[in-house]
Amino acid sequence: MAWFFAFLISCYACFAAALEKTSCCFPQFEKSLSSSIPLEIDATLALEDFRSLPDGSWNGNWGAYGAMHLKVFLPRNVSIQLAGSYGLYDWAGRAFVSQSLANSLQQQGFVTFALTRQISCTGLNVAIAYDWMFNKDFGLFSVNPCFDQIRGQVGYLIRGGNELGIWASYGIHEFHTRSQQLSLQFRGISQVNLFWCHYFKNHGYGMLWAGMPYRQGLMYSSGRPGNFIFGLQFSLPVTQHLSIEGHGVYMSPRRVAGIQAVKNDASNLSIGLTYSFGRTRIQRSPYMNLANNSTFLADTNHNF
């Protein structure tokens, strides 16, 4: 973990000096990043469906969540971000748990703290984030795990509003608990992805990524928790302050003797409305979005 922090910090220091030498290439970015107030506050309401390895043979969790995102702009294109979300799922009940929990709602939330250096010109963008996931009545065993990850992203913005780069995450701590006489473990899936993002003149963007997990999974004696990962996220402005936001991901399962692959894939699809407070709507961007079930995948050692 220490080497990952050291690498990102060294990259940030090197890139910061280089970014000072760039000249503005995208006037729409310059206008939006130079907001009339040095503060951005976004509120989101969204519908979501997700499943992860802790859901096993269950087909997934449908529900809704609310989120708040606070972004403070500092000199030299630096910003600090603090964001959080809280969601309720399985509104119609849960057929795969004990009778006493059949009518309970699954609850889930995320917290993200991030430091970002994002420019309005051609050149490098850099971000690092700490994400925390907390749950109640989570997965097949209806337990309450909390665990965390760190996330980093580096991209190069080129002419035409296109950005190419890489983002990665590393699951930090494991959560241990017991249920049905089983010892359970949970951890964020460490992943690395290449991405392409296009910024539109109307202050929207679309982002696609593809990659894979790179760390041994908790369920397997050796190897990664999944094969390939494909994801997307987007922002479509509707008015000066209102936008449609969405994200999604799919992680294909490994095929291992004695373990059914159908129980070990992960997926997510979310769409919602975001309202940005302030006199001037600030450019929406993927630097650094609040963690969600597309960017924070859960691993476990038992399911059925």
- Domain range list for the chain: 2-300
- Say what the pTM is: 0.85
Report helix, strand or coil for 203. coil
Q: How many CB atoms lie within 10 A of CB 279?
A: 9
Is residue 207 a contact partner of residue 233, using CB atoms and an 8 Å limit? Answer: yes
Q: Which residues, 6+ apart, have CB-to-CB distance to 264 below 8 Å?
A: 53, 219, 225, 226, 253, 254, 303
Considering the segment(s) 2-300 as one domain, its CATH architecture is Beta Barrel (2.40)
pLDDT per residue of the chain (304 residues) written in tens, 0 to 9: 444 444 444 444 443 443 344 334 554 454 444 445 578 889 999 999 999 999 988 878 999 999 999 988 888 889 999 999 999 999 887 766 555 566 778 999 999 999 999 887 788 999 999 999 999 999 888 899 999 999 999 999 998 889 999 999 999 999 999 988 899 999 999 999 999 999 988 788 999 999 999 999 998 888 899 999 999 999 999 988 899 999 999 999 987 765 666 678 999 999 999 998 865 555 567 788 999 999 999 999 988 8
Q: Output the six-digit token pair for 85.
A: 């979300």
CA 207/CA 198 separation, integer angstroms: 6
